[in-house]
Amino acid sequence: MVSIRHIVLALVCAAIMAMVAGCGGSDANPGDLATSPSPGETASLADAAAACTVIARAGPDLPDPTADLNDPDTLPAATVHRLQGAAGLASAAARSDPRLGPVGWAAERLDDDLQTLDVRDFASATEATVTACRDLRLPSTVTRSSAQADAALGCAAASRARDRFSAASPGGASPGNDDRFSGIALLLQAAFEADSTYQTLAQLGQALPEDLRQGTVDELSADGAALLTACGNAGFLRGRDDRDDRVTGSSSPA
């Protein structure tokens, strides 16, 4: 049976390879996207692809304007945190690679709607984000939401960020770390809210943005390492030698 991890990796890798081949949309300087990306740029593409996957998947779960928001089942916390986590990754990706700006801006609009409960704009903001993703040949196909998929994407994003856990100045030379770590934490929180199996991952994920805010480099390094270990134990990482889920011309997912 094909695992959720392999499905996630396939979606992310296909999106990255399409963009590297020059399939970018007109809103993001497709000529620039056709050039060989640096490792950091490739990681940003993977973060954007993960965000697009989540928003295409969970956006349709948002209530319509006639829904009763006083009913907790109308807008579950897992749905909100899932989409906010995706918005964090999209924003971080755009800050690291401005060519991904259209996805970051659209996802931030959706995040603003979630924070203000602007239910009238949910559908429009979701569609705008999916369109931005489609224009950049990033995932835009609707699939079912699941706690396991959220945990897999959160762990994959953590794996891509592992070098940032030991940065000498967490908030300095690495733009978007605050959004990136919050995105990881929120995706893992969404996984836990949908399935208590992922409580440990959620707790470890929550430590990352807190460490960053406090500027505690040693704690960030330790908590990041603990999260990666927990992700590996849960079966979401392929091993310590696999530094991240980025794709180059000489490597491919297992």
Mean pLDDT of 228-254: 58
pLDDT digits (tens, 9 = 90+) for 101-157: 999 999 999 999 999 999 999 999 999 999 999 999 998 887 788 899 999 999 999
Is 135 inside a domain boundary? yes
DSSP string, 12-75: HHHHHHHHHTT---GGG-HHHHTSPPPHHHHHHHHHHHHHHHHHHHHGGGSPPTTS-TTSTTTS
Which tens digit of pLDDT belongs to each residue from 86-97?
999 999 999 989
pLDDT band at 39 (very low <50, low <70, confident <90, very high): low
Q: Identity (one letter) of the amino acid at 120?
A: R
The domain containing residue 147 runs over which residues?
Answer: 4-233
Predicted local confidence at residue 235, as pLDDT: 94
Within a domain: 248: no
- Cβ atoms of 104 and 28 within 8 Å: the answer is no
Within a domain: 242: no
pLDDT digits (tens, 9 = 90+) for 191-235: 999 999 999 999 999 999 999 888 888 899 999 999 999 999 999
In a domain, 157, yes or no: yes
Specify if 34 maps to a domain.
yes
Compute the distance between CA of residue 135 and CA of residue 229 in angstroms, rounded to an integer.
36
How many separate domains does the chain show? 1
Would you state the pLDDT for residue 36? Answer: 43
Q: Nearest 5°: phi and psi at 179?
A: -65, -40
Report if residue 22 sits inside a domain: yes
Higher per-residue pLDDT: 208 or 241: 208
What does the alpha-carbon distance between residue 69 and residue 85 come to, in Å, rounded to a whole number?
21
Residue 246 lies in a domain: no
pTM: 0.79
In a domain, 119, yes or no: yes
Quote the pLDDT of residue 195. 96
44: its two tokens: 């940003």
